[in-house]
Structure 1
């Protein structure tokens, strides 16, 4: 989602920088809650407190809600990384190419990972770090949040169930707003429970362990774990970029070539094969990011992923 200038960045309208809509972000948080290890769960509950029902679900939308607050204008660029690739012909994410200024979702995840366990910070600051992680680990699973083309799809007009929208908004919420009432009684918690069950015993179970792998997509022989990433990050004066968020961004970005930009102009994308092809991707991406968020917090507070 390339922005031409800092001035332009600070005046972006909300749709240009939103990730998943509220329902998608909440689903990520609720899925993660089902996989937290004891110390991670304890921190989440005590940090978020009654304001967020002690849950990552309600807290997941905070980072979007603050966009109307000028005091947080600086955070807008942290919700995405502008992949300068060429979908649907070729898809890739490079931190050196796409986050050269050091202000993108990849560096934001690193920053707030360090802050959430920094006991020298106030309770409020650590809670803020947790809420940013909750949100950004959701955003990095949205294919148009790891893509620069057409301002992350915002400049592409499409139809959804007869209404005009844009490609980015379609993925944020348009298709989710059709899916939820049709399949889950309009309940985000029912949806999240279903996704978590698929991870535990259903169709996602054979895939889940690969979701928290950080093996480099460019150097397959190199294997890196979440534990490696976080241990390296928290080491004094560490400067090594995190591998896991980059690999996960690359995983997400691949859908820009296979699904997101493969549509027929003029077709209603919510009443065609595009919708039936996209919904499984949306659901799996939200499940992935909930599982990854739990693993990330488990390593931080319990020392290992504590997941299968």
Structure 2
């Protein structure tokens, strides 16, 4: 069956927004601007957290890791999307599609678990401040990041194997901007029940369980915030946590709709739009949200720009 897939066709056609022929140039400029903004914004977050000693703590270790993931995450998809907007042949090879799906799932799944680790970091910092440095030491931070990555590798390698051993029908047109599991399953000429079960299990592990842990952490954090007597103190803590919670809601919400909602003809365009949220919108707004809502990051960025202006 694997041999049949490799020999009967050489790739897929990514339809994207091919029906908007008059807007291809505008869409290319839009995606290019967004991609440059993602690189610059997240790159600045990485730079200031690496160079400013005031940001040398676990919270900003996770933040720069998140920004690095966002850059890699969008690089897997946006360049190919832009290329398909300027060429007539909107194809992607069999291997290219498999590679794109694997790294998109790997980086996206790692981000899911990293966001949960960031919530735990905030819980320890606010609810157990005296033990914060002892608990959130460098070894634990590196361990949580490494574990988030390691757990995702076999899971998505298995998903990819099950997906690309399916027999595909004559139509190789993927009604999406990039290769992804749900639209590819629609091209299969056989029952995909096992694949659907695997998708649900992966979503349970990477979306439902981490999101539930984040909610529990924030319930405890809110309870601790309400006990702070100082109004300024409450505002500062809430501002820091609201940045992370905003990113969590955008990322988990859009990913849940795409991977857990029932597939239908009416939902295809909605899912295509939602996929743009976790592929483009969240990485674009991540540095904006954290820089606007976080006083330490704003101060560090201000010092950086003042140094550049002096030079």
Tell me the TM-score normalised to structure 1 length.
0.29
Greater CA radius of gyration, 1 or 2? 2
Q: Which of the two has greater helix per residue? A: 2
Tell me the TM-score normalised to structure 2 length.
0.29
